[in-house]
Amino acid sequence: MAGCVLAGSLRAQEGDPGSSAGLAIETIAERRVVTPSTAGAQVKFVAADQLQIGDEIFYTIRVRNVTSSSLEDAVIVRPIPRNTQYVADSAVGPAARIDVSIDGGTTFSEPEDIQIVTTPGVTRPAMANDYTHIRWQLQHPLAAGATALLRFRGIFR
């Protein structure tokens, strides 16, 4: 099938660049399948193991505190997967401040604060297709053994 890619669960190791120590982070990529039925459309999510250009991918980041104590100010950084364009304003997380990066995760800002220099002296606001990384800063402690779910969407290109 043309335009397909194998995508699956991406398991991160403790100590991922930019993320807080003491976290086990797993990224799950899924796509939504709508099946018509006599009772109305049924919606389910399946592994994004085969994609077509333009398909929407739903990413869930499962973050677990693997330490024996509560983690204050936990930070989770994830790259936008290759061949994927971030869907504007789709990143969510429980009581999390969400920032984005356009420079490979070196610096982060709120999306509306990022400007790109197109030519000397000319700037434009960054757009979703400029983003390279997303950062979630949890605003409440993550208890020992607790799991937080973070999400964002992307378009396969």
Average pLDDT, integer, range 4-20: 51
Instruction: Give the DSSP per-residue string, the chain.
Output: -TT------EEPPTT-TTSPTTEEEEEEEEEEEEE--TTS-EEEEEE--S--TT-EEEEEEEEEE-SSSPBSS-EEEEEPPTTEEEPTT--B-TTEEEEEESSSSS--B-GGG-EEEEETTEEEE--GGG--EEEEEESS-B-TT-EEEEEEEEEE-
What's the chain's average pLDDT? 89
Q: What is the pTM of this model?
A: 0.85
* 41-86: pLDDT as tens digits: 889 999 999 899 999 999 999 999 999 999 999 999 999 999 999 9
Distance of CA 84 to the CA centre of its chain: 11
Residue boundaries of the structural domains of the chain: 10-156
Has residue 38 got a pLDDT over 50?
A: yes
Tell me if the domain spanning 10-156 has CATH number 2.60.200.
no
* 76-127: pLDDT as tens digits: 999 999 999 999 999 999 899 999 999 999 999 999 999 998 888 899 999 9
